[in-house]
Chains A and B, each alone.
Chain A
Amino acid sequence: MTADLGRLLFEEWPEAIIATAADGRTLFWNRAAESIFGYTSAEAVNRLLRDLIVPEDRIHEEARILAETLASGQSTHESIRRAKNGSLIHVDATKKAIRGPDGALSVVISTEKDVTHLKVLRDARLLGARFGDLLESMPDGIVMVGSNGRIALANSRAAQLFGYDREELRTLQIEKLLPQRYRETHAGHRTGFFAQPHVREMGAGLELYGLRKDGSEFAVSISLSPLPAAEGGALVLAAIRDITERKQFERALEEKRAELKRANQAKGRFLAAMSHQLRTPLNAVLGFTGTLLMKLPGPLTRDQEKQLKMVQSGARHLLSLIDDLLDLAKIEAGTIELRAEPTLCAELVEDVAGSLRPLAKGRGLTLEVLTPDEELSVRVDQRALRQIVLNLVNNAVNFTDHGGIRIHLTRGLRAGTPTVEISVADTGIGIAAEDLGKLFTAFSRLDAARGRPSEGTGLGLHLSQKLAEALGGRILVLSEPGKGSTFTLVLPQA
């Protein structure tokens, strides 16, 4: 009975009780030793104490203490142990050497009390006394945690975030503030952090969640800073920010963005289908107008011919509107197909000028093309480039009553990038400074343009600018009302 009681006392004593043989092997390892150092009795027995719980840099110290114990029979000291999970543990230890009747050493018994937390608390009290007011004024929740994972100090904001009283937080295991699924990995990270302390900034990690006392979770962002402390080893200061609201905003924003993208794509598909449907009946309108004007069915009177030409011109206008609209839809839906190929600019510009010269001549205007001696070539989609130049020259012709149009092809340099520039200068009505901003907006025909003979679609410049952007370039404009305008297409020469 007394033997049993003795055994029970050893086993259940709140401090670690360890007995080692003369060769240093562990003979006995009680429950407190199991819980403090993390090794079970089965794991510990028969192992050298030095291999189990003595940190490398403490091996000499441990040997010295043992020698002292053997010499004087007993010794008391403070030391540091390494637990199975790697964390460092401060202990107050008492060792006693027990010798047999022959004086030979039979056993060394050691009781070791874990004082880590006491030390951490002491450090925290010192820091709290110095920085408490500062911590209270921080907008983030702040907790200081020792290497054992216990909270040493927390500010009111932290208590409020997690739904605890401040006093409840003190000494709480930090992992209690995490959802179960993170706890094990966090304990590992914590040990790693104390082994190599470094500042980790907020938002640098993965998605993190905090666990409130009532069991609910909330999204957090955490920054970590090591605090070297005097006695209890390092402390880490964690600043915790509740980012639930930010997450909600981000999610809402993301959903909105996806929704907009879908809507835009649906719009693109709709416009493409609609353009196709609109072209089909135009085929018959333009086709039969054409056969009549070709006089295939028979001769026409002058009036019939004049009126049919108006039908034809109206139908063609409608067709170019539909084409522009479809191009725009494709650009905006991001489905436009551009094929970059080497393009001789002079050739293309001459070609466009040639096609519009009859129109210019008909309006009594000159149309001049100035190209450099050297050959200028760019890699672009030819159809897109032609469309832009055609539009610019066509506009120039339509908005000029006297004088002429000059197309200038030059090499340029903008912000260090070599460019090829095609400028179209007219001596037309010009554009007021306040109207320049509206120029590239869809369907924004300017007041000055009212009553012009132009059959413009109102999409021309808008589409040209979008196409120029799709080619990596842009269109610039300079204008003086009454004197004329110069539109310059700037293309990077890649």
Chain B
Amino acid sequence: MAARILIVEDNKANLALVEYLLTTAGHQTLVATDGVEAVRLARQTQPDLVLCDLQVPVLDGYEVLEQLRGDPELSGLPVVAVTAFSMRGDRAYVLEAGFEGYIPKPIEPEKFVEQVEAYLRPELRSRRE
């Protein structure tokens, strides 16, 4: 069963990359290019997972997270940070802020789908062995 994944990313090339990898693995993707749109789409579509860049316009990743966490209808929605802030200490900072997971950029295309699916309910994973 495919998952519905909301991608929050304002860089076109990076968005294309993540979309390509996830749709190739059989998932359905939704796209928001700024924080406000991300929150609106999440409420409207109730996705299975949010992949969120931290530096998106209007609301940044941390603010998006705060809004989603404040919405009772979205409780249990996993939000994973995908970020180019990937130096020593950044991971701990991001997880402390309340993100379910942290995937550093540049992403590793060979591992990316597996990394993302780790945050999905088992029945939503693509099971590519």
Give me the interface of A with B, judged by CB distance under 8 Å: 275-276, 279-288, 290-291, 294, 296, 319, 323, 326-327, 330, 336-338, 381, 383
Q: A294–B87 contact, CB under 8 A?
A: no
Q: How far is the CA of A284 from the CA of B13 in the complex (A)?
A: 6
Q: Please tell me which stretch of B35-43, B66-74, B103-111, B115-123 contacts chain A, meaning at least 4 of its Cβ atoms lie within 8 angstroms of it.
A: B103-111
Question: Is B127 positioned at the interface, with any CB of A under 8 Å from its CB?
Answer: no
Q: A279–B105 contact, CB under 8 A?
A: yes
Q: A283–B14 contact, CB under 8 A?
A: yes
Closest CB of chain B to A315's CB: distance in Å? 8
Question: Is B86 positioned at the interface, with any CB of A under 8 Å from its CB?
Answer: yes
**A–B complex contacts, Cβ < 8 Å, 15 sampled:** A275-B87, A279-B84, A279-B86, A279-B105, A279-B106, A283-B17, A284-B16, A286-B106, A287-B107, A291-B24, A294-B110, A296-B21, A327-B88, A337-B88, A381-B88
B110 contacts which chain A residues (CB < 8 A)? 290, 294
Q: How far is the CA of A288 from the CA of B24 in the complex (A)?
A: 13
Q: A281–B88 contact, CB under 8 A?
A: no
A288 contacts which chain B residues (CB < 8 A)? 13, 17, 20, 109
Question: Is B62 positioned at the interface, with any CB of A under 8 Å from its CB?
Answer: no
**Chain B residues bordering chain A, tally (CB within 8 A):** 20
Q: How far is the CA of A210 from the CA of B13 in the complex (A)?
A: 71
Q: A327–B87 contact, CB under 8 A?
A: yes
Task: Please report whether the interface of chain A is mostly helix, strand, loop or mixed according to DSSP.
Answer: helix
B24 contacts which chain A residues (CB < 8 A)? 291, 296
Contacts A290-B108, A296-B24; A280 near B87 (Cβ below 8 A)? no
Give me the interface of B with A, judged by CB distance under 8 Å: 11, 13-14, 16-17, 20-21, 24, 84-89, 105-110
Closest chain B residue, CB of each to CB of A316: B106
Q: A276–B84 contact, CB under 8 A?
A: yes
Q: Which of A281, A330, A337 contacts B13 (CB 8 A)?
A: A281
Q: A287–B84 contact, CB under 8 A?
A: no
A383 contacts which chain B residues (CB < 8 A)? 88
Closest chain A residue, CB of each to CB of B17: A287
Closest chain B residue, CB of each to CB of A276: B84
Q: How far is the CA of A287 from the CA of B108 in the complex (A)?
A: 7
Q: A280–B14 contact, CB under 8 A?
A: yes
A294 contacts which chain B residues (CB < 8 A)? 109-110
Q: Which of A283, A323, A338 contacts B107 (CB 8 A)?
A: A283
Q: B11–A287 contact, CB under 8 A?
A: no
Contacts A280-B14, A284-B17, A288-B17; A319 near B88 (Cβ below 8 A)? no
Q: How far is the CA of A383 from the CA of B89 in the complex (A)?
A: 11
Q: How far is the CA of A409 from the CA of B107 in the complex (A)?
A: 34
Contacts A284-B14, A288-B17; A276 near B106 (Cβ below 8 A)? no
Q: How far is the CA of A291 from the CA of B11 in the complex (A)?
A: 18
Residue picked from B11, B13, B84, most chain A C-beta under 10 Å: B84
Shortest 7 CB-CB contacts between residues of A and residues of B = A290-B109, A284-B13, A287-B17, A337-B89, A283-B106, A279-B84, A283-B105
Q: How far is the CA of A291 from the CA of B18 in the complex (A)?
A: 11
Q: How far is the CA of A240 from the CA of B82 in the complex (A)?
A: 67
Residue picked from B105, B106, B107, most chain A C-beta under 10 Å: B106
Q: A319–B106 contact, CB under 8 A?
A: yes
Closest CB of chain B to A189's CB: distance in Å? 53
B17 contacts which chain A residues (CB < 8 A)? 283-284, 287-288, 291
B109 contacts which chain A residues (CB < 8 A)? 286-288, 290-291, 294
B20 contacts which chain A residues (CB < 8 A)? 288, 291, 296
Q: Which of B16, B87, B106 contacts A330 (CB 8 A)?
A: B87
Contacts A288-B17, A290-B110, A296-B24; A280 near B88 (Cβ below 8 A)? no
B105 contacts which chain A residues (CB < 8 A)? 279-280, 283
Q: How far is the CA of A279 from the CA of B54 in the complex (A)?
A: 14
A290 contacts which chain B residues (CB < 8 A)? 108-110
A279 contacts which chain B residues (CB < 8 A)? 84, 86, 105-106
Closest CB of chain A to B38's CB: distance in Å? 18
B88 contacts which chain A residues (CB < 8 A)? 327, 330, 336-338, 381, 383
Residue picked from B11, B85, B87, most chain A C-beta under 10 Å: B87
A284 contacts which chain B residues (CB < 8 A)? 11, 13-14, 16-17
A275 contacts which chain B residues (CB < 8 A)? 87
A336 contacts which chain B residues (CB < 8 A)? 88
Residue picked from A290, A336, A381, most chain B C-beta under 10 Å: A290
Closest CB of chain A to B14's CB: distance in Å? 5
Q: How far is the CA of A275 from the CA of B13 in the complex (A)?
A: 18
Q: How far is the CA of A285 from the CA of B86 in the complex (A)?
A: 17
